[in-house]
């Protein structure tokens, strides 16, 4: 069976920065839709793969949107609710309007796991465009990265260095090899450049995750564990 166009409808428009960042980092294609507009007006050719409705942002509009798509026969798509703790009682007697819910504020890892379970048969995640190692995620399409759900603010070359290392876990690279593979043969900054970027990356990863980039004495650097460490 051909895959659907893999687009999620997100209500309301605009989506919260936290939700937008989580979906982007997880590799989902999505489009924010106003609760006041019929979802069909923005529906992709293959149909919506699912919907995320942030009830916490505007409960009345969110429920109205869900009732609207139910009346129009669009309730065949899986629906995830984002709901505040004080709104849990609002879910009673409305089970027919949604499939699952996640408390807001949410942890990105929890929301992503719930979405993966909910949409596993309906959506095609572009996992080939993600690099993941433990709690580290790099989205190669958007040049975004996060560690344990926390976004990382990196320069272009910091991202490129982290991407290269994360794509080659357990392998040891000399500073000269990293200069040539990440910066290119024409770069004359010297080995000191690698040390500076590694130091900055460790600081941005935070104390708990700084040891993802290990120093191999008298040789260079290694990302993650080698097969002999596990």
Q: What is the pLDDT of residues 52-64, one digit of tens each?
A: 999 888 888 888 8
Confidence band of 38 (pLDDT split at 50, 70, 90): low
12 and 92, same domain (yes or no)? yes
Domain boundary among 57, 90, 125: 125
13 and 118, same domain (yes or no)? yes
Q: Domain limits at 213?
A: 129-223
19 and 104, same domain (yes or no)? yes
Q: Are 173 and 220 in contact (CB under 8 A)?
A: yes
Confidence band of 174 (pLDDT split at 50, 70, 90): very high
Residue 92 belongs to domain with CATH number: 3.40.50.2300
Residue 198 belongs to domain with CATH number: 1.10.10.10
> What is the domain count for the chain?
2
Per-residue b/e over 191-205, b at no fewer than 16 CB within 10 Å?
eebbeebbeebbebb
114 and 172, same domain (yes or no)? no
**pTM for the complete prediction?**
0.57
At 129-145, the pLDDT tens digits run 888 898 999 988 888 89
At 66-103, the pLDDT tens digits run 888 777 665 578 899 998 888 888 888 787 888 888 88
Confidence band of 188 (pLDDT split at 50, 70, 90): low
């Amino acid at each position: 069976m051909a895959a659907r166009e893999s687009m999620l409808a997100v209500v309301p428009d605009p989506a919260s920065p936290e939700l937008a960042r989580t979906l982007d980092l997880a590799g989902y294609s999505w489009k924010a839709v106003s609760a006041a507009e019929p979802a069909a007006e923005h529906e992709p050719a293959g149909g919506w793969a699912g919907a995320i409705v942030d009830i916490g942002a505007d409960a009345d509009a969110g429920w109205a949107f869900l009732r609207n798509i139910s009346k129009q026969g669009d309730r065949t798509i899986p629906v995830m609710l984002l709901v505040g703790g004080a709104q849990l009682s609002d879910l009673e007697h409305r089970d027919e309007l949604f499939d699952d819910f996640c408390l807001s504020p949410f942890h990105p890892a929890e929301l992503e796991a719930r979405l993966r379970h909910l949409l596993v048969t309906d959506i095609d995640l572009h996992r080939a465009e993600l690099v993941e190692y433990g709690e580290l995620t790099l989205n190669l399409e958007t040049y975004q990265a996060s560690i344990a759900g926390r976004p990382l603010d990196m320069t272009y070359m910091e991202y490129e260095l982290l991407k290269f290392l994360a794509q080659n876990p357990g392998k040891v690279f000399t500073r000269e090899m990293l200069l040539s593979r990440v910066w290119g043969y024409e770069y004359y900054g010297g080995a000191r450049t690698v040390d500076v970027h590694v130091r900055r990356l460790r600081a941005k990863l935070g104390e708990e995750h700084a040891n993802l980039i290990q120093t191999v004495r008298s040789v260079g650097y290694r990302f993650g564990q080698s097969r002999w460490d596990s």
